[in-house]
Amino acid sequence: MELKKATYGIVGLGIMGGSFAKSIRQNILSQAGSSGKVLVCNRSTACLSQAQSEGVADQTFTSDRVAEMLPLCDVVFVCLYPHATIDFMKEHRDHFKAGAIVTDISGVKGIFEKSMPEILRPDVDFIIGHPMAGGEKEGYANSDAKFFVNHNYILCPSSFNKAENLDFMRSLVAEMGFTRITETSCDTHDYKIGFTSQLCHVIASALVESAEDPEITAFGGGSFEDLTRIAMINAPLWTELFISNKEKLVSHIENFEKQLERFKKYITEEDSESLRQMLSHTREQRLKMGSIRTVRK
């Protein structure tokens, strides 16, 4: 299967699904000799009309017609919430094209590793993936192919994946603009994303909630704004992500609480030497973290 000759299906045309559709159209199907197509499916029709009028989608389907779209698709991006993705795979197990590659974009992976072997047909390959990119605003109108440029894509290869399909996915996401492909286990993904993403959203949200005076931000100089940008959160999605990864996330929260207690203790006791040492160590650690660039693991 060639990238520029494949038919791509996008299920869920929100900010991420729309960005995938636009990226495939701009970066792959605009190449000379391309004959591939982008088919999109969504519950509401406004974004479907927009995607078609913009030339992003070749054909559109409402959700009640997705069974008509799936048999036409060589590659399917299921851009739904985690449990909705599992439900979708169960409901449409028999509608996928034989030999199709199907992938998700969810922020938790353990639930897919456990459920997919029981759901999958032997002739359909589900590749667990997570694009580390996006924006704060929701909906197709806020989607953009540029979100993916110079960002990281995580793949969690499974024993049931075919080597040639994993190679296809690597090539596909690279053509979209992702410059780092990190390959890891589902368990490692959930542990690390629990820290680098989910814990950060918890902290940002808690910081906003801790403000006793809503007008306090009139004195902001950028620090509050930088720390809380991600607190403008999609509540239903992040509720599901937090609870789906609760064991690992709660462990990270508890470790964070220990560090807060250390800061509180040193400040309360005016222990300037311990505080200085801790802040110096923090700076060194952050510099080391910034130098890490994992391409493949």
CB 10 within 8 A of CB 77: yes
Does residue 10 sit within a domain? yes
The predicted pLDDT at position 297 comes to 36
Q: Which tens digits make up the pLDDT trace of 60-73? A: 999 999 999 999 99
Q: pLDDT tens-digit profile of 258-291?
A: 999 999 999 999 999 999 999 999 999 999 887 6
Q: If 0-12 CB within 10 Å is exposed, 13-18 middle and 19+ buried, where does residue 200 land?
A: middle
Is residue 86 situated within a structural domain? yes
Instruction: Give this prediction's pTM.
Output: 0.87
Phi, psi of 129 (to 5 degrees): -140, 160
What pLDDT is stored for residue 217 in this prediction? 80
Q: Which CATH number does the domain housing residue 11 bear?
A: 3.40.50.720
pLDDT digits (tens, 9 = 90+) for 159-209: 889 999 999 999 999 999 999 999 999 999 999 999 999 999 999 999 999
Same domain, yes or no: 33 and 179: yes
Domain final residue, candidates 132, 163, 184: 184
Per the domain annotation, does 151 fall within a domain?
A: yes
- Please choose, from the candidates 100, 105, 43, the residue with its C-alpha nearest in 3D space to the C-alpha of residue 73: 100
Per-residue pLDDT at 292: 63
> What CATH number has the domain bearing residue 211?
1.10.3660.10
Determine, yes or no, domain membership for 297.
no
> Each residue of 112-124: pLDDT tens digit?
988 888 898 899 9
Domain span including residue 217? 189-290
State what percent of residues in the chain have pLDDT above 90: 79
Inform me whether the pLDDT recorded for 227 exceeds 60: yes
Amino acid, single-letter form, for residue 186: C
Residues 236, 178 share a domain: no
The verdict on residue 285 lying in a domain is yes
Domain finish residue from 168, 184, 200: 184
Q: Please indicate, yes or no, if residue 214 is contained in any of the structural domains.
A: yes
**pLDDT category, 215, cuts 50, 70, 90?**
confident
pLDDT value of residue 186? 95
Together in a domain, 123 and 148: yes
Task: In whole angstroms, give the CA distance from residue 18 to residue 176.
Answer: 13
- 206 and 257 belong to one structural domain: yes
